[in-house]
Structure 1
Amino acid sequence: MITQLNITDVDLYNLSIIGENVYITSEDDEFLCYYPENFRFSKNPNKSVTMIADGKLYLSDWVEEGWDNGNDCATEEYKYYEKVIVRDFNGTVLSETLGCLQQRPDGTWWIA
């Protein structure tokens, strides 16, 4: 056993284990880390943490531009793309890069 958490202290929605080391987290409008340290920060639902390494969180951010919410459809100016956002454990944005984080079969990561 690595750790034991009280179920009443954990938000079970999107509960996961991620990172080069073991990080127990959950996320929705807020990212919460329960182990090995406690921290949290607010985020948009279209962002999700993909990887944690070297004291940094790597988030996938999908962006839709030119969507007509009233008619629930794409306009002629519609664009979809992804960004990789790197944050520290306080939630401070360290960098943003167009693309998406991918993991190779050997476990290394790259931005496509």
Structure 2
Amino acid sequence: MSLYKLCIIGNPVHIISQEDTFVCYYPEKISFPITGHESALFIEDEKIYFESWVEEGWNDKNDCATDNYDLYYKVIVKDFSGNTLSEEVGDLYQAADGTWWIA
């Protein structure tokens, strides 16, 4: 259990931690592996909404960007078993009234 990454998200409230594994401790135990680029933002209607950054065109050998470098974000929706339900390029934003949208 990683208390350092413990947070509260979702509707209803879920207590989670995430690093190499997404773990929900409350209201039910959920656990599945995630990449280091994925971060859960909210849970609603038994779906977990992750934001992930994607980096393309990076030269690992020289530790620098190539001419084809691109950095973008995508929204990944997963079920409670960790299965990917959908992926969409964009960022998640939350309005003052609590609603979310992808831009």
* Both structures adopt the same fold (TM-score exceeding 0.5): yes
List alignment gaps of at least 5 residues for structure 2.
none
> CA–CA distance in 2 between the matches of 1:107 and 1:39?
24
Q: CA deviation at 1:72?
A: 1.4
- 3-state SS, counterpart of residue 54 of structure 2: strand
Root mean square deviation of aligned Cα: 0.8
Larger radius of gyration: 1
Q: CA deviation at 1:11?
A: 2.0
Q: Give how far 1:88 is off.
A: 0.2
User: Structure 1, residues 90-111: CA drift from partner, whole Å, max 9, x if none?
Assistant: 0000000110110011111000
Deviant stretches of 4+, over 4 Å? none
The equivalent of 1:36 in structure 2 is 27
Normalising by structure 2, we get a TM-score of: 0.96
Contact 1:49 1:58 in 2 (8 A): yes
User: Which has the larger strand fraction?
Assistant: 2
Question: What's the counterpart of residue 70 of structure 1?
Answer: 61
Question: Match of 1:37, as an amino acid?
Answer: E
After TM superposition, give the deviation of residue 13 of structure 1 in Å: 2.9
Shift of 1:20: 1.6
Q: Distance in 2 between matches of 1:13 and 1:55?
A: 25
Q: TM-score, normalised by structure 1?
A: 0.89
Pick from 73, 85, 91 the counterpart of residue 82 of structure 1.
73
Equivalent in the alignment of 1:56? 47
Describe the SS at the equivalent of 2:5. Answer: coil
What is the percentage of aligned positions where both structures have the same residue?
53
Count of aligned positions = 103
Counterpart selection for 2:87 from 79, 96, 112: 96
